[in-house]
């Protein structure tokens, strides 16, 4: 079993993922900014580590990643403040990639979102523009690293119960997907090296996750 770090460990997807990975026997460390969130994280079976990615440098992150087999980026500024969005969703994410490389943590899974690639297409006057810009920049940077990366592009998130079924592949357009199923997809790709080097955009659908992801995702 693997040692896995989730960055942004108190997020709704991250808490679900921490539980799935822990229940599968992986050793999970979840980074959190607020120490008051530690009990929520530890209830999933993960170990909480207070680590504010907005202020940590790449070397400081690397120290905390040493000995880890994989890292999942599931952090975000939460919108509302463009400067902080760029600081977290772009700059801190990129620092974490450098940190992973320094620490020898080669497997890196990015939880992004479903958008037109390589251009996100969000107009500059939209309040969503800073987030779209930040995520696109981080995703693009990740693809140029030497890390064993996978980019996940879930569509609009819901709190509906998971179905274990998705739709992905050429021609799929964004609709919606349960956070339960986003976590299940992330857990799947961590256990399946065939997903390395792939960008996986997906919605809820009719195909079981394992069948949907087995050899059907376009690289890049």
Q: What is the pLDDT of residues 74-129, one digit of tens each?
A: 999 987 799 999 999 999 999 999 999 999 999 999 999 999 877 899 999 999 99
Q: Considering the entire predicted model, what is its pTM?
A: 0.95
The yes/no answer on whether domain 3-213 falls in CATH 1.10.645.10 is no
Per-domain residue ranges for the chain?
Answer: 3-213
Most distant pair of Cα atoms in the chain: their distance = 46
- CA distances (Å), origin 79, targets 46, 92, 126: 26, 15, 12
Instruction: Determine the Cα–Cα distance for residues 220 and 117; give it in Å rounded to an integer.
Output: 10
Question: pLDDT tens digits, residue range 176-197?
Answer: 999 999 999 999 999 999 999 9
In the numeric block, which tokens belong to residue 7? 């960055």
CA distance 28 to 31: 10
For residue 88, the Cα-to-chain-centroid distance in whole angstroms is 13
């Amino acid at each position: 079993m693997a040692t896995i770090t989730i960055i942004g460990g108190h997020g709704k997807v991250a808490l679900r993922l921490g539980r799935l990975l822990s229940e599968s026997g992986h050793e999970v460390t979840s980074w959190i900014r607020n120490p008051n969130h530690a009990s929520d994280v530890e209830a999933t079976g993960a170990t909480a580590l207070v680590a504010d990615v907005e202020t940590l440098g790449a070397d400081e992150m690397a120290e905390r990643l040493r000995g880890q087999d994989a890292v999942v980026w599931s952090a975000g500024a939460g919108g509302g403040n463009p400067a902080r969005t760029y600081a977290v969703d772009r700059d801190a994410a990129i620092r974490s990639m450098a940190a992973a490389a320094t620490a020898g943590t080669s497997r890196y899974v990015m939880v992004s979102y479903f958008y037109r690639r390589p251009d996100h297409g969000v107009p500059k006057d939209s309040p969503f523009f800073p987030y779209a810009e930040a995520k696109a920049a981080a995703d693009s940077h990740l693809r140029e690293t030497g890390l064993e990366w996978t980019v996940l592009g879930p569509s609009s998130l819901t709190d509906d119960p998971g179905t274990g079924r998705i739709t992905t592949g050429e021609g799929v357009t964004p609709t919606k997907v349960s956070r339960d199923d986003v976590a299940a997809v992330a857990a799947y790709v961590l256990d399946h090296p065939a997903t390395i080097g792939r960008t996986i955009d997906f919605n809820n659908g009719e195909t079981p996750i394992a069948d949907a992801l087995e050899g059907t995702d376009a690289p890049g």
